[in-house]
């Protein structure tokens, strides 16, 4: 074939010109941080995200020019374009003046890149927040310094916690409008830390911010707030950790079986927990057959090991029956298998979740029929779980899941991949719920009956540790753990003693 030399030629020239020397650009050694921003239009959320994009130079001149064109020259006090226009991508939203869905934004610094899930703050859009929070490592909660915490703040923090987020940043915005009132900031951040603690979240940073003026977002606000010595928002984001380590053993949900020829049979999927190396003994679930790993194949090379997040092809030492939807797992640390599980659901569609209806459930690469029985619904304002027979849209509820065929899960608190699920309505094919597995239910009920279970009130750190154990995960029906502060625990005990 006589086509001209393609662009690899240019690459080769580069290689010759720069034999060993690496370019000055340092390869970032961090994975992208995924975060969610929660707050309402009034709190200045669009301005905060716009400020992040603007100050990290993620907005280009032509985009800014089209912003100014669209806003008819409307600008904020500082001569910057209206950031909300930059973010509200869809015409329908511009007409209504609100964001109605989850949008993803990208920006980066020298140290790291970031993916922001931007979701609306109105109560009826719990579903969007749950969607954005499902993949987030960290939540930025936004409050107006003049107003302080709202019911909404508690709701957002609760949803973020349920979805597995364990790092919070509280951005106390519009601090300039309080005359940079230090005691006001300290009061709000104290209240928020109490709130976070009651939800079991201990990694909390509060920052006084003026998104409009760009203070303590990317650049520090020392000139206006010499009393604040903490980090800027971007500094916190740069140092945050990505998805907390999955505490379970090796998991590979099999996406497809690769059989390019008679001589090769490999199982393709993304490692959903733990690690694997040639020689490891594995079990195939639900069949329970056992095999050993002989090779980890990727396009680039045959690897010595693979870890969570790696997309691999696994070769086993014997011919076993493995198909899409099966899970290959460490033999000494297996997930739960069974026909009945407990889960928490977020109802995402107007039809809600109907009792007894059979849905499709998808988790990892496995899709199967499930019957759903709602048990209780969370009151986001009080934090209490109330009895419920069905779940309306935007409700968060506890449910029983019953399967015809063996299901395979970890508890969501132990693995955010193998513990997560979606429900699909077979009538509409739409995604109607997102769910988090809490525990496996024994075929025969345990010591408890429906409404009587042991309640343990424990300091938050102890509660976390206890709930992270496998033994507790399997007895979740028997006991309920409430996280309280030490002071509250003393009060409770005193009350019992009286």
Find the helix packing angle between 151-162 and 182-198, rounded to 10°: 40
Among 140, 198, 199, residue whose Cα is nearest residue 164? 199
The residues, any chain, with a CB within 8 Å of residue 296's CB and separated by 6 or more, are 276, 277, 278, 302, 303, 304, 305, 306, 312, 313, 314, 315
Q: Least distance (Å) from another protein to the CB of residue 24?
A: 9
Q: Does 32 bind another protein (CB under 8 A)?
A: yes
The residue assigned the tokens 């409307």 is 74
Which one of residues 181, 191, 310, 351 is an interface residue with another protein (CB under 8 A)? 310
User: Which residue number, 301 or 443, has a Cβ lying nearer to another protein?
Assistant: 301
Tell me whether residue 81 or residue 266 sits nearer to another protein (CB atom): 266
Residues 81-100 contacting another protein, CB under 8 A: 86-92, 100
In this complex, which beta carbon is closest to another protein, that of residue 119 or of residue 152?
A: 119
Question: What is the CB neighbour count within 10 angstroms for residue 422?
Answer: 18
Which range, of 165-173, 217-225, 294-302, 331-339, touches another protein by CB under 8 A? 294-302
Quick one: which H or E segment has residue 69? helix 61-70
Smallest gap from residue 141 Cβ to another protein (A) = 20
If binding is defined by CB under 8 A, does position 424 make contact with another protein? yes
> Using CB under 8 A, which residues numbered 451 to 490 contact another protein?
none
Residue 386: enclosing H or E segment and its boundaries?
A: strand 384-387
Report the alpha-carbon distance of residue 186 to residue 181 in Å, rounded.
9
Examine residue 19 and tell whether it contacts another protein (CB under 8 A).
no
Q: Which helix (H) or strand (E) holds 479?
A: strand 479-484
d(CA 373, CA 219): 51
**Considering the rule CB under 8 A, would residue 298 count as an interface residue with another protein?**
yes
> How many CB atoms are closer than 10 A to CB 124?
9
| CB nearer to another protein: pick between 314 and 460 | 314
62 touching another protein, by CB under 8 A: yes
3 binds another protein (CB under 8 A): yes
Q: Does 13 bind another protein (CB under 8 A)?
A: yes
CB of 493 to another protein, least distance (A): 39
| Region binding another protein by CB under 8 A among candidate stretches 189-197, 205-213, 400-408, 429-437 | 429-437
Minimum CB distance to another protein smaller for 101 or for 186? 101
Cβ closest to another protein, residue 92 vs residue 442: 92
Question: Could you give the CA distance from residue 309 to residue 111 in angstroms, rounded to a whole number?
Answer: 21
What's the rounded Cα separation, in Å, for the pair 235 and 237? Answer: 5
- Binder of another protein out of 364, 391, 398, 440 (CB under 8 A): 364
Name the residue among 397, 382, 386 with its Cα closest to residue 352. Answer: 397
27 touching another protein, by CB under 8 A: yes
According to CB under 8 A, which residues from 162 to 221 bind another protein?
A: none
Scanning residues 223 to 282, which ones bind another protein (CB under 8 A)? Answer: 255-256, 258-260, 262-266, 268-270
3 state SS for 285-333: ECCCEEEEEEEEECCCCEECCEECCCEEEEEECCCCCCCCCCEEEECCC
Indicate whether 31 belongs to the interface with another protein (CB under 8 A): yes
- Residue 10 as a binder of another protein (CB under 8 A): the answer is yes
Residue 113 binds another protein, judged by CB under 8 A = yes
Task: Count interface residues toward another protein (CB under 8 A).
Answer: 94
Element (H, E) at 269: strand 264-270
């Amino acid at each position: 074939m006589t086509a001209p030399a393609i662009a690899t030629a240019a690459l080769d020239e580069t290689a010759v010109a720069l034999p060993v020397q690496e370019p000055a650009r340092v390869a970032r050694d961090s994975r992208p941080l995924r975060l969610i921003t929660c707050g309402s239009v009034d709190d200045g959320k669009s301005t905060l995200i716009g400020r992040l994009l603007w100050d990290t130079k993620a907005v280009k001149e032509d985009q800014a020019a089209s912003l100014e064109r669209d806003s008819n020259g409307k600008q904020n006090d500082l001569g910057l374009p209206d950031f909300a226009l930059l973010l509200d991508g869809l015409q329908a939203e511009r007409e209504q003046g609100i964001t109605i869905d989850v949008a993803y934004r990208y920006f980066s610094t020298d140290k790291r890149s970031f993916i922001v899930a931007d979701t609306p703050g109105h109560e009826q859009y719990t579903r969007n927040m749950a969607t954005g929070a499902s993949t987030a490592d960290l939540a930025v909660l936004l409050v107006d310094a003049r107003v302080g915490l709202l019911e909404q703040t508690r709701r957002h923090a609760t949803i973020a916690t349920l979805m597995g987020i364990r790092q919070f940043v509280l951005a106390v915005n519009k601090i300039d409008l309080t005359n940079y009132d230090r005691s006001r900031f300290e009061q709000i951040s104290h209240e928020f830390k109490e709130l976070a603690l009651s939800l079991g979240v201990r990694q909390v940073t509060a920052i006084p911010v003026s998104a409009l003026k760009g203070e303590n977002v990317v650049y520090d606000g020392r000139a206006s707030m010499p009393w604040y010595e903490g980090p800027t928002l971007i500094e916190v984001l740069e140092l945050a950790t990505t998805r907390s380590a999955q505490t379970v053993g090796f998991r590979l949900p099999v996406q497809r079986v690769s059989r390019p020829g008679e001589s090769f049979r490999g199982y393709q999927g993304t490692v959903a927990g733990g690690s694997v190396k040639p020689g490891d003994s594995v079990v195939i679930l639900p069949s329970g057959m056992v095999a050993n790993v002989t090779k980890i194949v990727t396009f680039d090379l045959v690897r010595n090991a693979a870890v969570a997040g790696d997309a691999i092809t696994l070769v086993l030492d014997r011919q076993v029956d493995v198909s899409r939807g099966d899970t290959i797992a460490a033999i000494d640390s297996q997930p739960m298998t069974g026909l009945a599980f407990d889960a928490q659901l977020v109802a995402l569609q107007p039809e809600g979740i109907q009792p007894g209806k059979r849905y499709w459930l998808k988790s990892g690469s496995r899709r199967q029929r499930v019957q759903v029985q709602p048990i209780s619904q969370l009151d986001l304002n009080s934090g209490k779980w109330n009895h419920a027979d069905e779940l309306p849209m935007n409700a968060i509820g506890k449910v029983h899941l019953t399967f015809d065929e063996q299901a395979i899960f970890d508890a969501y608190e132990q693995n955010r991949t193998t513990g997560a699920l979606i429900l699909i309505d077979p009538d509409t094919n739409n995604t109607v719920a997102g769910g988090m597995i809490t525990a496996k239910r024994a075929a025969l009920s345990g010591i408890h009956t429906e409404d009587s279970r042991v309640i343990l009130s424990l300091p938050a750190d102890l509660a976390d540790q206890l709930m992270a154990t496998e033994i507790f995960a399997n007895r979740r029906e028997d006991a309920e753990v409430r996280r309280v502060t030490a002071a509250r625990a003393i009060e409770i005990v005193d009350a019992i003693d009286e």
